Amino acid sequence: MKLRLATLAAILAALLAAPLASRAAEPYKNPTLPVEQRVQDLLSRMTLEEKVLQMRMFHANRGIRFTKDDEMQLKGDTAPRLTNGIGGIKNPGESLTPLRAANLNNQLQKHIIDHSRLGIPTVFVTESYNGVDAHGCTRFGRPVNLAASWDTDLTRDVWSVIGREARLRGMHMCHSPEADIIRDPRFGRMSESLGEDTYLTTRMITASVLGVQGGYGGAETDRNTTHIGAVVKHFAGYAQVQGGTNFAAIEISPRVLIDEIFPPFKAAIQQAHALGVMASHGDINGVASHANPWLLTETLRDQWGFNGYVVSDANDVARLHFFMKVAETPEAAAELGLKAGVDLDLYSDDAYVFLPEMAKKDPGLIPFIDRSTSNILRVKFILGLFDQPYTNLDEVERGVRSESSLKLARTFDEESIILLKNQNNQLPLARNNGKKIALLGPLLAKDTKAAFEKIAGPGVTFVADQGFRLTDDNRQRPTLNTDTEAGVEKLVNLAKDADLSVLFVGGDFFTSKEAFFGYALGDRESIDPVGQQDDLVQRVKALGKPVIVVLKHRRTLSINVIAEQADAIVDCWDLSEFGEESIAKVLFGDVCPSGKLPVTVPRSIGRLPFHYSQKEINDKKGYLFTEPGPLYPFGYGLSYTTFAYDKLQISDQEMARDGKVVVSVEVTNTGNREAKEVVQMYLKDEFGQVMRPNKELKGFEKVALKPGETKRVEFTITPDMLVFTGLEMKPVLEAGDYRVMVGPSSANTQAVSFRLN
């Protein structure tokens, strides 16, 4: 009897083990095999319906919940959506602590794998504008602040923390960073970008993607299992919307598209190996980006070699029908998106959901479905999701908001703050015994006074008051506050009793934000500071006491009154969770400002376009009744010390088509304190077969210098820096004369020349 039981047990064990052994033998389950072999093996086993489910993504707020006892619940139609797998889910656990989010995402992933016939995991997707956009992660400054730092190493380090913190909470991809060039500050999403310049954005986006993806190198054997994948957006030209309004049409000349808009995206693919690309809401030459095979397939994949996946912007495949009006039916919209190269349909229930029935009627669609499914599966294999689908909960709390990450957030702030004005060396402030400083204005934060008291020490006393709010703080359509006179009067009275005033003005989230599809607004027709902010500055200045302006904003503002009235201006854009402390450190001299403008600051929006790299003929005429030029040029920023540029040299007066020249300059700290300077190098093609930009940034280096120290900074100029799109819309390397300009900003340079033979 014992023998029979033992035999029966052995047989039963063998039967139970047989399917497991069979699954383990399946090539797509074998981590030692090449990714492409695993992708094709898995694809061959999938049904049409399973393939299309991998091409869809929905938001976790549809019905993914976590109980107080940390048990996952699936509400509404969520469970049926997961019966045969899913391509991705957006923002699961975003409102939870990192540890609880990781727990939820482990449970959710297990449910998806267990309910998928082939055990296919999904990708969980976040966004990252101030660090991971989820509760409990390190809050960094905005991307435009990184551009203001002009520090690629810092940028890579910041994004590496973002990628690591996201992965620890169970995320795998982020719909960030943005490679868009933004030159119209009416557009409410300006602070998501890296500024107006092609080269600066290219350098920064490359560092960002390398950081967030943990240095993933793109080789067949490379994997990304400690960080997340980047979805670079919005491809392409999205920020060039007409009128600066979200969802508007886009007008870009083919030459500008190729020479100025494409390079950051191309570098993100070819140099940083981004795993994802999001298509643009807009159009190119009337062709909707989500229905543009030249853009998404010929350019992105065939020419640039992209092998990740393309995701739609929210609902944009369906919008080809009901918004862009280039498809007569939802089914026609789905076919356009599929054939163009959109692999993953974000949110919509009116587009790719129709593909299974469409493909049964038209088998010619199946190769396109296979292509998209393969692209999505490839990313999942690269991310190691088939081999390591779950987060190690023991690592979460010590890996998220670590001391090194919080320190990095502070460093990021300090490197990005820009000193725009410092009349009579008003800054840094002295810690005089008995000095009384008024901290005033609508952009004052709750912790400003405490931060200043901490940094200044006991010798200075502070009074602080916000006075008034700029808007009613409505997240969709904020309304400007008009009843602010009493608040302004209160602030002026507080300033009367102080030795000097620090005014916190500019703009906030409600005055510059994304204008979501539907009712929400976030763009502006003017870029003047809203409300009574200029009036506040003038009335406090009229008291005859020093006025320091701390400028916070998410779009470029035409600060004419502030520039005229303030004794000093510190430009902060949108800093980290430690921003108030960082501002205080700069004002009291604990930190020497070293940020530089990543955008041009105009006198008015009527100067549009006003980016520094326009064609030379645009400078021929100015405007009646106003001063020429910008308020502050691209690349501008002061310091608490001074720098001298000397002995600009070029290695050769001529350059061969396969050669190079080296330009060098000596930079000396001529002041009495250690500081950093961003040395910038610009090129100008003196004569071209098509009209060329007046100047283009082609190199920069941020150098630290002790008082009296001199460093020689070198820039190597290679032929690829001189290539442009010629008369026949092909890349041209044209012989001729070139001017090299080196200096502390785009408007303050020394020049040498060379000739390309």
Of 667, 675, 588, 684, nearest in space to 638 by CA: 675
In sign, the C-alpha dihedral spanning 725, 728, 731, 734 is negative
Q: HEC profile for 349-410? A: CCCHHHHHHHHHHCHHHHHHHHHHHHHHHHHHHHCCCCCCCCCCHHHHHHHCCCHHHHHHHH
Beta bridge partners of 668: 644, 710
End-to-end C-alpha distance for the chain, whole angstroms: 96
Give whole-number Cα distances, 310 to 55, 212, 218, in Å. Answer: 10, 18, 17
Q: What CA–CA distance (Å, rounded) separates 42 from 25?
A: 12
- Asked if 571 is an active-site residue, the reply is no
CB contact set of 709 (below 8 Å; sequence gap of 6+): 668, 669
Looking from the CA of 144 toward its CB, the CA atoms found within 13 Å total: 28
Looking at residue 461, its amino acid is: T
Give whole-number Cα distances, 441 to 356, 494, 665, in Å. Answer: 58, 11, 43
Looking from the CA of 444 toward its CB, the CA atoms found within 13 Å total: 23
Q: What CA–CA distance (Å, rounded) separates 262 from 281?
A: 16
Instruction: To the nearest 10°, report the CA torsion of 160, 162, 167, 169.
Output: 150
Residue 432 structure tokens: 């005089």
Helix (H) or strand (E) holding 707: none
Q: What CA–CA distance (Å, rounded) separates 308 from 229?
A: 10
Q: How many CB atoms lie within 10 A of CB 204?
A: 30
Residue 73 structure tokens: 């619940």
CA 189 to chain centre: 10
Q: What CA–CA distance (Å, rounded) separates 15 from 255?
A: 66
Q: What CA–CA distance (Å, rounded) separates 253 from 234?
A: 17
Marked catalytic residue, from 259, 313, 316, 343: 313
Looking at residue 561, its amino acid is: V
Of 156, 239, 152, nearest in space to 191 by CA: 239
Q: What CA–CA distance (Å, rounded) separates 82 from 122?
A: 10
CB contact set of 430 (below 8 Å; sequence gap of 6+): none
Counting DSSP H helices and E strands in the chain, the numbers are 22, 28
Looking at residue 392, its amino acid is: N
Q: Where does residue 206 rank: exposed (0-12), middle (13-18), buried (19+ CB within 10 A)?
A: buried
Which segments of 610-719 are extended strands (E)? Answer: 643-650, 654-655, 661-669, 675-685, 696-705, 710-717
Q: HEC profile for 116-178? A: CCCCCCCEEEECECCCECCCCCCCCCCHHHHHHHCCHHHHHHHHHHHHHHHHHCCCCEECCCE
Looking at residue 380, its amino acid is: K
CB 181 within 8 A of CB 126: no
Of 260, 256, 262, nearest in space to 294 by CA: 262
Overall residue count recorded for the chain in this entry: 757
Give whole-number Cα distances, 279 to 66, 345, 607, in Å. Answer: 32, 11, 30
Looking at residue 375, its amino acid is: N
Helix (H) or strand (E) holding 504: strand 500-506
> Active-site residue numbers?
313
